[in-house]
Amino acid sequence: MTDVTLFHWEPNANSGKPMLALAEKGVQFKSHYLDLLNFDQHKPEYLEINPQGTIPAMLHGDKVLTESTAIMEYVDETFDGPALMPEDPYDRLRVRWWMKFMDQWLAPSFSMIGWSFFVGPSVRSKDPEELKAAIDRIPMRERRIAWRKAIYGTFSEEEMTESMRRVSVGIDMLETELSKHKWLASDEYSLADVNGFNLGYALPLSQPELANDERTPHIMEWLRKIYERPATKYIWSMGKTDMVKRVHILERGAN
């Protein structure tokens, strides 16, 4: 086995990006599952690997890699297997354009909605003192603030409205772009698709009015094609919670 260890949570969002990129390249890796809802990412043994206390992180030999998109690019460039970046420089630019757009603009809005409706409610019933201590242990100030807002339900109406607006704008942009090429950034399957799938695989469940067969047929077909790839099936089978079962909405004929 290649000397790769991936520290990840569920195949979802940032964790799923390097998981799926590794599987697409055919790279076997040691899986080290961290339970985000149990605050495993803030435990001292993981902070030695990623002092920011966020997931994912990867070890390749003696190298420590963090930042999910940068890890995907490293994986693509380092290992044999099908290229996940196109040859053409303009196509490559579009892959990077979409990844930057998703990582910096769209994903934080998806994340705020997910943290408000899922992450916060999932941990809220723990002992209040334990929760307070868990929050105090989080190394990054901005993550402490996000956890507090998720747990105590204090994301403002303005923040939530803006996140919903961004998700809606992002869905329309994806639909337009996917009507132009076979895949998101070009006619070749790329890291932009891996990134986008991790962000949007559950859209037909989480935003059924905005993402559905009538309104966004290109998005639906794109998600289904990625879902049908053997690498995607394999990685999603590594999920340990019901969260990943949402992917089955992409089964043809499921809705």
Q: Please give the residue ranges that form the binding site for ligand GSH (CB under 6 A).
A: 13-15, 36, 41, 53-56, 67-69, 138, 143
* Shortest separation between residue 175's beta carbon and ligand GSH, angstroms: 24
DSSP-derived pairing of the beta strands 30-33 and 4-8:
parallel
* Shortest separation between residue 255's beta carbon and ligand GSH, angstroms: 26
Burial letters 17-54, b for 16+ CB under 10 A, else e:
bbbbbbbbbebebeebbbebeebbbbeeebeebbeebb
Give, as one character, the DSSP assignment of residue 32: E
Nearest to ligand GSH of 55, 112 (CB atom): 55
Helix axes 157-178, 217-227, angle to 10 degrees: 80
Nearest to ligand GSH of 55, 178 (CB atom): 55
Per DSSP, the three-state class of 30 is: strand
Nearest to ligand GSH of 151, 219 (CB atom): 151
* Shortest separation between residue 121's beta carbon and ligand GSH, angstroms: 16
Nearest to ligand GSH of 53, 86 (CB atom): 53
* Shortest separation between residue 111's beta carbon and ligand GSH, angstroms: 7
CA 95/CA 185 separation, integer angstroms? 5
